[in-house]
Structure 1
């Protein structure tokens, strides 16, 4: 038995001409939605958010990130590895020093738009 709300729906909700079936057919593939969920999961950790914020300001090494976040270098490296695996950050080696930055402008825009959204609630 269908719930009452579904029985009453006659596909003219709010005067919409778009059918649920058409929307269903345009949904992103499962692999894409899984990757999107992983990205949002990564942003669900306050430490990683602070790390991403620091990297949105400039390219930094683990030592500097450790000082900025007041965390051990091992913990920072662990978070950077997680973010690198998700292609949120990238690294560049210069001699023995590894510098980290955001992977691309898309990552920066997602972060900055989310930050702006929260600031104006």
Structure 2
């Protein structure tokens, strides 16, 4: 079985510590439901702070803190549009990663539901 993903490894066949560290950073970034909800929204379209705050049901201050963490992790970029700051994801691969992450979670929920039905 071949994989479409190629993960670079060391001569010993293990993943480099730099790649592992980046992977942990990415997964930690996704570990907050509100941040993941924001990333989902931004995978669909570019949005302002107020749009994001309203969408996920938090104050602009809380949304700003969440967005700050995402920007620090290098996940988002910003641009000015008049008086508003518009947030967007860096690239299509990032957008696809968020979609795949949530699709995988749905797959796991479906499996869990199927097991529960079998047990009944």
> TM over 0.5, yes or no?
yes
Q: Deviations over 1:88-119 (max 9, x none)?
A: 11111122210001121121121111111122
- Per the alignment, residue 115 of structure 1 pairs with 102
C-alpha spacing 1:24/1:45, structure 2 compared with 1 (3 Å): farther
TM-score (norm 1): 0.75
What is the CA RMSD across the aligned residues, in angstroms?
A: 1.8
State the alpha-carbon separation in 2 of the partners of residues 82 and 58 from structure 1.
19
Any residues of structure 2 matched to 1:1-121 within 5 Å, and which? 25-121=12-108
TM-score by length of 2: 0.75
In structure 2, list runs of 5 or more residues that go unmatched: 1-8, 109-120
Shift of residue 23 of structure 1?
6.9
Structure ranking higher on relative contact order (CA contacts 8 Å, 6+ apart): 2
Query: Runs in 1 of length 4+ with deviation above 4 angstroms?
Result: none
Q: How many residues matched?
A: 100
Gaps of 5+ in 1: 1-21
Partner SS, residue 120 of structure 1: helix
